[in-house]
Amino acid sequence: MKKLILRFIIFILILFIILLILSRILLPKNNTDEAGMNNSRAMKILGEESGTVDMIVYGDSEAYASIIPLQLWNDYGYTSFVCATSGQTLPDSCRIAYDTLKNQNPKIVILEADTIYLSSEISVPVSRVLYEILPIMEYHNRWKSLSLNDFIGKIEHTGRDSNKGYYYLSKEEPADDSRYMEESDEIERIPRLNKVYVKLLKNYCELKGAEFAIVSVPSVNNWNYKRHNALKQFAEEEGIEFIDLNEKKDEIQIDWSKETADKGDHVNYPGAKKVTKYLGEWLNKKNILENHKEDINYNFWKEDLNIIISTGNYY
């Protein structure tokens, strides 16, 4: 039996070394789509100058469709970045936070609430851990596009996103909001594992000197009072600030007949402007972020805004 265990350990060790070598080859050498980086829009934050982003948002598509960092810059001179990805689970949020908080020192980190109700299956964190130990598991599909640079090149992050993670949606597909946020005392249970991850993320952000808050952006399809009640209760228990923009429907006044891109799932650009306006006022009241508009070290933000304006699509 001892011999069997010894053989097994040697076999696994050699296999591990082979996979580590292959992981190094397959790992994208830049934070761009062309280099093969997954979730490259969110990971473009790695291309931002160190220590220049004061607010980071994690979450799923609700976050990247609703929060416009350049509007916050334009209105208040706040620097922010939306590191949200499609269907981002909390283990993903934690992983991205670990990467992004290495060279950014935000004053506040926001977690968009929808992700708290996404999959809580144990396979999600297990896969995440596997991906971390052996990046070949995450980037194995890159075998199709390997180049010489993948074998000999250094890893660098030069990709930047002028939109700072916001994803522009122009479509209009009206939603039926007749039952949107109907008041209720009921509670939709937050998956236990997700609670653990929220606490982990909060602790990590606080360790890095950032305030942690949860924000729920407006969505007819993904949010309701049961979720509001559950999250409010959880946030109170954990001492987390929770802003439910769905509850503020009278203040934000999203017109669900025009301001949604997909029948109430996500807000479109006009909706996002209203959401960001409210968020800006809230941040302004909190008075924790600096106005960098006059700081010449932040001129690249002005350039980014000009790039987006020059596209002529919006702003």
Candidates 53, 82, 136, 245: give the one binding other proteins (CB under 8 A): 136
302: left (phi over 0), alpha (psi -120 to 50) or beta: alpha
User: Residues 218-247 vs other proteins: string with x where CB under 8 A?
Assistant: ------------------------------
Q: Do the beta carbons of residue 266 and residue 86 sit within 8 Å?
A: no
Provide Rg for the chain, Cα atoms. 21
Q: Residues near 198 by Cβ (< 8 Å), separated by ≥ 6?
A: 90, 111, 116, 214, 234, 238, 240
Number of residues that bind other proteins (CB under 8 A): 25
Is position 138 an interface residue for other proteins (rule: CB under 8 A)?
A: yes
CB of 174 to other proteins, least distance (A): 27
Is position 141 an interface residue for other proteins (rule: CB under 8 A)?
A: yes
Binding segment (CB under 8 A) for other proteins, from list 6-14, 229-237, 246-254, 265-273: 6-14
Q: With respect to other proteins, which residue has the nearer C-beta, 193 or 309? A: 193
User: Residues 8-27 vs other proteins: string with x where CB under 8 A?
Assistant: x--x--xx--xx--x-----
CB of 118 to other proteins, least distance (A): 14
Candidates 27, 94, 137, 181: give the one binding other proteins (CB under 8 A): 137
CB of 13 to other proteins, least distance (A): 12
Binding segment (CB under 8 A) for other proteins, from list 70-78, 138-146, 163-171, 175-183: 138-146
CB of 3 to other proteins, least distance (A): 8
CA 35 – CA 55 distance, rounded (Å)? 27
CA 89 – CA 122 distance, rounded (Å)? 12
Q: With respect to other proteins, which residue has the nearer C-beta, 122 or 207? A: 122
Q: With respect to other proteins, which residue has the nearer C-beta, 46 or 70? A: 46
35 to 74, contacts with other proteins by CB under 8 A?
Answer: 38-39
> Minimal CA–CA distance to 39: which of 59, 25, 16, 20?
59
Whats the size of the chain, residue-wise?
A: 315
Q: With respect to other proteins, which residue has the nearer C-beta, 21 or 307? A: 21
Q: With respect to other proteins, which residue has the nearer C-beta, 124 or 267? A: 124
Q: Do the beta carbons of residue 57 and residue 19 sit within 8 Å?
A: no
User: Residues 113-132 vs other proteins: string with x where CB under 8 A?
Assistant: ---------xx--xx--xx-
Biggest alpha carbon–alpha carbon distance for the chain: 71
Binding site for other proteins (CB under 8 A): 3-4, 7-8, 11, 14-15, 18-19, 22, 38-39, 122-123, 126-127, 130-131, 136-138, 140-141, 143-144
